[in-house]
Amino acid sequence: MENPKGDDKKNSLVYDIRLTSAVPGKITGKNKTYEFTGIDLGMKLHYIKGLYFFSNNNNSNRFISSEETKEALFSWLITYFMACGRIRMSKSEDGFERPSMKLNDAGIRLVEGQCSKSVEECICLAMEDFTCLQDLLVFDHALGPDLQFSPLVSIQTTWFKCGGIAIGLSWAHVLGDPFSASEFMDTFGEYMHGHFQFHQPKVLTIQHSPQPNCPLSDPTQEPISVKRVDPVGNHWVLPTNCKIGTHTLLLTQKQLDQLHTKVSGTKHNDVKPTQYFEVITTIMWKSIAKIRDLKTNCVTVCRPISVKRKGLVPHNGQLLGRINVDFSVSNADPLKLMNAIVDNVVDESEIVENLVNKEIDKFDFYVYGANLTFVDMEEADIYSFKLKENCPRFACYSIDGIGNKGAVLVVPGPQYGGNGEDHGSKLVVLHLPQDEIEPLKDELIKEWCIA
């Protein structure tokens, strides 16, 4: 980011950008090495972006200072010392180089800036042009080309003219999935509130993920939920010629209930319990299939095997599921399609793990957008991240590094504030080829009355 000066500074939305770093308050990792799993390395070209807006409810110039933030960081990073590591290449048992993480307390990147608008003005901008605003409030972060010096995590703090604040997270997916990233921020909020003392940091434990309740894929079958690319070397950025656009949709509880009835013919949970994720996936899959020339009969779903991440070391604990149907999706009865989404998931996680481990010396891999991908963050408690007991006015997550088949995220919608938001709302984040955004918006308005 450039730091505007003079008149350019006054006209710039975000200015006075300052880059620093933060390290744990004491030696933690002891320079040990953490070995990534195959699933971790399958996610190495993806980055999770989180953005939180906080209003100034105390009517002071700033309800939180830069000094308070940094003081909490020193203790917090003792707990999350693995986020302060750096990528290294180490020899595997087979003799080839494999990425690993050196736990050397090298720290995370901190970014601070000022914004010329208010929190409310920026929330409105976020709903109109989320990509543009995210680029300003979440640091543009990727690993490499100086790989061994690249922080795995960047946090940007932006203060608004009203005294409010935005916290932007950029998180290397190789560290863990969106639920781990969300819990990372929730714990930061606890340290900000003083729930943990400097000399008694919270201790995280290794995860023991339960087994998913869906059939495993045939180990001899090629997985569709991951794709190979030529090795990217020391710059971990997905190579693509496709311009990916982003569009967000806010669906209220009332709209969701109406959509559930339209898809299934019943009220929510009247017959068979489903989450709204299945309803939204049905609508988006069917609508995207209508605007695409090629058949879209097979999609990927990324869902957490367990949503419980509190107290656990960050990890990639998501199911990579394949859903394949033998009928025309664009013309399908919505209930038939939703039943397939509920019942026909095949778990490809194990074969993806084995494939990446087997071929990591020959290829790199990516998941989001390798196939049309639906990401379930419906149960991520992103609004539990608080600053001095202030809940986010608005929060959103997205993913950077999407392949040309696109990805759709379902995250909780706004839960607090006085503008009529309800606790059951959902935010749908669409990452699709740029030329598909407008046709999809037209289709959603015409068939589903979703603007």
DSSP type of residue 225: S
Pairing of strands 346-347, 364-366: unpaired
- In the three-class reduction of DSSP (H, G, I as helix; E, B as strand; rest coil), residue 159 is classed as strand
Place of tokens 């008149």: 7
301-335 pLDDT, tens digit each: 999 988 888 888 999 999 999 999 999 999 999 99
- Concatenated DSSP letters of 310-373: TTB-----EEEEEEE-SS-STTS-HHHHHHHHHH--EE-HHHHHHHHHHHTTT-EEE-BTTB-E
Q: What is the mean pLDDT of residues 275-297?
A: 93
The tokens for 141 are 């972060």
Least confident of 77-86, 107-116, 126-135: 126-135
Residue 66 — pLDDT band, cuts 50, 70, 90? confident
CA 48 – CA 141 distance, rounded (Å): 10
The tokens for 94 are 């087979």
Instruction: Judge whether 228 and 363 are in contact, CB under 8 Å.
Output: yes
Beta bridge partners of 114: 15, 159
Other residues' Cβ atoms within 10 Å of the Cβ of residue 231: 11
Place of tokens 């921020």: 185
Q: Is the pLDDT of residue 5 over 50?
A: no
Per-residue pLDDT at 7: 41
166-203 pLDDT, tens digit each: 999 999 999 999 999 999 999 998 888 765 554 455 67
132-174 pLDDT, tens digit each: 788 899 999 899 999 999 999 999 999 988 888 999 999 999 9
Per-residue pLDDT at 419: 46
Per-residue pLDDT at 134: 83
Question: If phi over 0 gives left and psi between -120 and 50 gives alpha, with beta otherwise, what is residue 6?
Answer: left
Q: Is the pLDDT of residue 393 over 60?
A: yes
Which is nearest to 171 in space by CA: 205, 126, 139, 147? 139
**Percentage of the chain exceeding pLDDT 70:** 88
Indicate the fold that domain 6-448 takes in CATH: Chloramphenicol Acetyltransferase (3.30.559)
Residue 235 — pLDDT band, cuts 50, 70, 90? very high
The tokens for 373 are 């991908």
Q: Is the pLDDT of residue 267 over 90?
A: no
Per-residue pLDDT at 195: 56
Query: Model-level pTM?
Result: 0.92
CA of residue 172 relative to chain centroid, distance: 10
Per-residue pLDDT at 210: 64
Q: Is the pLDDT of residue 366 over 90?
A: yes
Residue 6 — pLDDT band, cuts 50, 70, 90? very low
CA of residue 273 relative to chain centroid, distance: 26
Other residues' Cβ atoms within 10 Å of the Cβ of residue 65: 11
Considering the chain, what is the average pLDDT of its residues?
87
DSSP type of residue 163: S
Q: Is the pLDDT of residue 418 over 60?
A: no
Angle made by CA atoms 380, 188, 414, in degrees to the nearest 5: 40
Least confident of 18-27, 348-357, 434-443: 18-27
CA dihedral angle for residue 40, residue 367, residue 244, residue 184, rounded to 10 degrees: -30
Instruction: Judge whether 203 and 82 are in contact, CB under 8 Å.
Output: no
CA 28 – CA 15 distance, rounded (Å): 35
Per-residue pLDDT at 69: 78
Place of tokens 């039943």: 339
Task: Write the CB contacts of 382 (distance below 8 Å, at least 6 apart in sequence).
Answer: 50, 52, 182, 185, 392, 395, 397, 411, 412
Task: Write the CB contacts of 273 (distance below 8 Å, at least 6 apart in sequence).
Answer: none
Other residues' Cβ atoms within 10 Å of the Cβ of residue 8: 11
Residue 206 — pLDDT band, cuts 50, 70, 90? confident
Per-residue pLDDT at 208: 59
Q: Where are the domains of the chain?
A: 6-448
Q: Is the pLDDT of residue 438 over 50?
A: yes
Q: Is the pLDDT of residue 444 over 60?
A: yes
Question: Whole-angstrom distance between the N-terminal and C-terminal Cα of the chain?
Answer: 33
Q: What is the mean pLDDT of residues 240-267?
A: 90
